[in-house]
Each structure stands twice: as structure tokens, then as C-alpha cells.
Amino acid sequence: EVQLQQSGAELGKPGTSVKLSCKVSGYNIRSTYMHWVNQRPGKGLEWIGRIDPANGNTIYAEKFKSKATLTADTSSNTAYMQLSQLKSDDTAIYFCAIDTMGLFDYWGQGVMVTVSS
């Protein structure tokens, strides 16, 4: 069974960084893209970017190019997203998702990031 286990909730101060993890079991991340999506409180879904763990290639949505950094460790089958220079509007739930048969067919449980001083 494919499962994506995300790290726990984060509380970050403005101007600092947080690093989120997404550990995959039941599927080799070398065989997929890892996507990251956010959802601000009460709002819809927004694609942040994706990484190809096999070679480290990344694509970001324009607005996240200086905000998010995606990495992956194939030895532990885990992907990471670092969010830098946190601001209040970075407060959101962040999801990871992978493609197996279809695109975005497995999702992590989501992690709440709260930015507050």
C-alpha cells in the first residue's frame, strides 16, 4: 500500500524558515514526481512545484520560486520542502502528492504551518 507520511505541524516566526518532509512507503520515489500543494485557511488548492527525485530537477510556480526549495533523498524515499522568509500569508496546510497510475493519485495527510511572532 502506498502511503505518504508528512512531518508534524510547524510554528514559525516571521523571517525564519521551516523544512517539511514527506516520507513515501510502498512506492519508489525515483519512479515518480513529488508535488507540493498548499491550501490557505478556508481557500482552495495551489500548486507550489514538483521535483523529479531521480535527478533532482525541479519546476516551481512563479510565485514560489523564491519561497520554496524542493529536495529529495532517494535513499530514505523522502522529499522535502523548505519555506524561507516566512510571512503571515504563508500560513497554510501543505500537502505532498505523487503520481503513480494517474497524476496526483496519492497524497500526504497535510501539515499545518502557522507563521506568527
Partner 1 sequence: DVVLTQTPPTLSATIGQSVSISCRSSQSLLDSDGDTYLNWLLQRPGQSPQLLIYSVSNLESGVPNRFSGSGSETDFTLKISGVEAEDLGVYYCMQATHAPYTFGAGTKLELK
Interface ranges with partner 1 (CB under 8 A):
35, 37, 44-47, 49-50, 59-62, 95, 97, 101-105, 107-110
CA distances from 15 to 11, 12, 38, 96 (A): 12, 8, 19, 23
CB of 39 to partner 1, least distance (A): 8
CA distances from 102 to 19, 32, 33, 96 (A): 27, 11, 11, 15
DSSP 102: S
Q: Which is nearer to partner 1, 64 or 80 (CB)?
A: 64
Q: Which is nearer to partner 1, 75 or 102 (CB)?
A: 102
Q: Which is nearer to partner 1, 55 or 101 (CB)?
A: 101
Q: Which is nearer to partner 1, 62 or 89 (CB)?
A: 62
CB of 56 to partner 1, least distance (A): 17
CB of 86 to partner 1, least distance (A): 21
Cell of 110: 497535510
The whole-angstrom separation of Cα 35 and Cα 50 is 4
Q: Which residue has the cell 510556480?
A: 61
